Amino acid sequence: MSMSNFKWIFLLGFIFAFPSYYSSLNAQTKVMNLSECIEYAKEHNINVKKAKLNYEESQINTLESKASLYPNLSFSSGQNFSYYSTAQSPTMDKGAYNGNYGLNSSMTLYNGGRLLKGIEQSKLQQEINKLNITNAEYSITVSIIQNYIQILYANESVKNQEAILNLSKKQLERSNTLLKAGSISKADLAQLESQKYAYDYQLIQAKNSLQKYKLDLKQLLELKDDIEILTPSIDDSEVVATIQSLEDVYNNSYNYFITILNGKKNIELASLSKEIAKTGYYPSLSLNAGISTGHNSQVDMNIVKQLKTGLYENIGLNLSVPIYSRRQNKSSIQRADISIKQSELDFAQAEKNAWKIIETLYLDALNNQNSFIAAKAKVSSQEISYQLVEEKFNLGLKNTIEILSEQNNLLLAKQEMLQAKYQTMMSKQLMNFYQQKPLEIKY
């Protein structure tokens, strides 16, 4: 058996032995629908992961603040070894060893409610950080919806460019026949060829745009593999369906805007900070207790007895009454008042931004819906016009300028219709999302 035959047998044996390896090489492209993209992004997006870590940290802070109500406990020990000389034997060094041990504990009995309010503050911050996870998920979801529909639009644009290019090729074929028959000149044919090359270029640009939107989607998903999205069937009836009133959309969305919910929580947090600042005027009372013992090698007693006889126990109360804090307490309260006002302004701004988002989506949906209706009628009219001009061109009654103009007008009308269609669907889907309604994309 030759060496080359042996290589082929070895290669075939490897493929049959490890079929999953080769199947995995061909399975690098992910096929996903919109919902799958959203769920994948929630799990893998970096900003969402960071928000989750912040929430975990706030949970730890809450547990720590709760534990501050309980007494602490610490153990301490000191071990010492020393050398010294006696008067009787100044030239001889002697060693001494002693050790001491202690347990100490303390707890706050009263400090104006600072500890309890601190626990409330930690819990409230934990709730805010949990909302921040949802806010990060909302943010990535909006971006996914926008990018997904941009891909759908770009995909349709490619098909539209391919259709007009095929139309141009067929027209060029007819024109070659007309040239041979003497119905058109070489200059006319050259113009048609030039237009065909222009359509080639536009198709390349359309495909580049599609790939760019896919790349953007991959980055949103934190995905390295290639991606293909399922193409839904969007009926024209969905595009022209009645749009909810602006007030209904806003009212239904109000309680789902995380910035508004966070705004309310931040006002509570600022108010709680003021209550904590007020506790600086109250006295604090703490309980302290301890037990200690020790031993010394110079004492003529064994170590166990020394530890027993050397036990020292103490317990006590410490009271601290603030008299003058160099304006620290007053300044803390004044800063808290400012923080409350800032939180109220942030809340008002959040409501304003929410209204702006919904109103913009509503107006975009309404305007693009009307544009779609008009563009659809324009496409129908333009198709008829193109057919009539084409017939006359084939009969030699129209020149190349007129047929090219009709082709470009038809292409432009279809592009306008597609743009209005997908812009309308994007606004509608986002309004549904902000109302927490199911996304209306059917496959």
Positions in the chain short of pLDDT 70 = 1-27, 84-94, 440, 442-443
CATH superfamily, with its number, for domain 41-66+115-281+329-434: Outer membrane efflux proteins (OEP) (1.20.1600.10)
Q: Mind listing the pLDDT tens digit for each residue in 149-171? A: 999 999 999 999 999 999 999 88
- The reported pLDDT for the residue numbered 230 is 83
Structure tokens at 300: 């003529």
* Cα Rg of the chain, angstroms: 40
- The reported pLDDT for the residue numbered 424 is 96
Q: Which residues of 250-281 are buried (b: 16+ CB within 10 A; e: fewer)?
A: bebbbeebbbbbbbebbbbbbebbbbbbbbbe
pTM above 0.75, yes or no: yes
- The reported pLDDT for the residue numbered 184 is 82
CA atoms within 13 A on the CB side of 152: 25
Nearest Cα neighbor of 440 from 429, 430, 427 is: 429
Q: Mind listing the pLDDT tens digit for each residue in 68-79? A: 999 999 999 999
Compute CA 207 distance to the chain's CA centroid, rounded to the nearest angstrom: 28
- The reported pLDDT for the residue numbered 176 is 87
H helix and E strand count, the chain: 12, 6
Please tell me the distance from the alpha carbon of residue 109 to that of residue 96, in angstroms, as a whole number. Answer: 43
Structure tokens at 407: 């082709």
- The reported pLDDT for the residue numbered 180 is 85
- The reported pLDDT for the residue numbered 309 is 87
- The reported pLDDT for the residue numbered 417 is 95
User: Which DSSP helix (H) or strand (E) runs through 149?
Assistant: helix 114-180
Residue 70 near residue 40, CB atoms below 8 Å: no
- The reported pLDDT for the residue numbered 129 is 97
Secondary structure class of 18 (helix, strand, coil): coil
Structure tokens at 158: 């490619």
- The reported pLDDT for the residue numbered 19 is 44
Q: What is the DSSP letter of 87?
A: S
User: Which DSSP helix (H) or strand (E) runs through 46?
Assistant: helix 46-67
Please tell me the distance from the alpha carbon of residue 238 to that of residue 425, in angstroms, as a whole number. Answer: 8
| Average pLDDT of the chain to the nearest whole number | 88
Residue 339 near residue 306, CB atoms below 8 Å: no
Structure tokens at 284: 């604090």
Beta-bridge mates of residue 35: none
- The reported pLDDT for the residue numbered 311 is 92
- The reported pLDDT for the residue numbered 93 is 56
Please tell me the distance from the alpha carbon of residue 266 to that of residue 110, in angstroms, as a whole number. Answer: 27
Question: What does the domain layout of the chain look like in residue ranges?
Answer: 41-66+115-281+329-434
- The reported pLDDT for the residue numbered 342 is 98
